[in-house]
Amino acid sequence: MTMMAIPVALDDARAWLRLGAAGDDAIVERLVRTATNICEAFTGQWLVIRAGEERVAVRGGLAALRARPVIGIDEAALIAADGSEIALDPDKYRTVIGPDGDAAIRIDDPQGAGQVRIGFRAGIAAAAENVPEAIRHGILRMTQHLYAARDDVQASPPAAIAALWQPWRRIGLGGAR
């Protein structure tokens, strides 16, 4: 999986935290990455398009990805019981991507494999600067919360953060995903 691009620049986070030119850069960068991970977990969506891969179960010839929103499937390989892989030609499976970015592949002949490794691309925006402003602002506010609450593990994040991210939240009802 490629490294996640962060949609908030270090300079922007530093300014939001009212820090000097080079104050706590390593800490602030880690907090921005953490806030971005929290945002992706909350919304159930990857923010900036990046490549990834998942090992998922094959059920009835169908293998559904957990990552969202998927924009393309690049490769698939069946995983045999002994752990070896059998690459699938693209004509041996069909890609199914819904309008909401949910994705799966339908395998014509899963050859008894219980799992498949799928390489894909997923994300809301093509570049970090294209992430919606409300999401970016929520990441700044979460970074601020994490920075201020470094010594207080009981501190809850402000409700405004959830309000900023709520329109992009995708939640599932469990099941096979």
- Percentage of the chain beyond pLDDT 70 is 94
Give the helix/strand (H/E) hosting 130: none
- Mean local confidence (pLDDT), 47-66: 95
Cα angle, residue 158 at apex, residues 136 and 177 outer, rounded to 5°: 65
pLDDT at res. 150 = 84
Q: How confident is the model at residue 161 (pLDDT cuts 50, 70, 90)?
A: very high
Could you give the C-alpha distances from 28 to 16, 24, 82, 159, in angstroms and in order?
11, 6, 44, 21
Q: Which of 37, 18, 44 is nearest to 173 (CA)?
A: 44
Q: How confident is the model at residue 155 (pLDDT cuts 50, 70, 90)?
A: confident
pLDDT (tens digit per residue) in 77-133: 999 988 899 999 999 999 999 999 999 999 999 988 899 999 999 999 999 999 999
Residue 177: pLDDT over 80 = no
Looking at residue 125, the DSSP 8-state letter turns out to be B
Name the token pair of 138.
């929520």
Q: How confident is the model at residue 2 (pLDDT cuts 50, 70, 90)?
A: low
pLDDT at res. 54 = 97
Q: Considering only CA atoms, give the Rg of the chain.
A: 19
For 112, phi then psi, to 5°, come to 80, 5
Name the token pair of 92.
């041996």
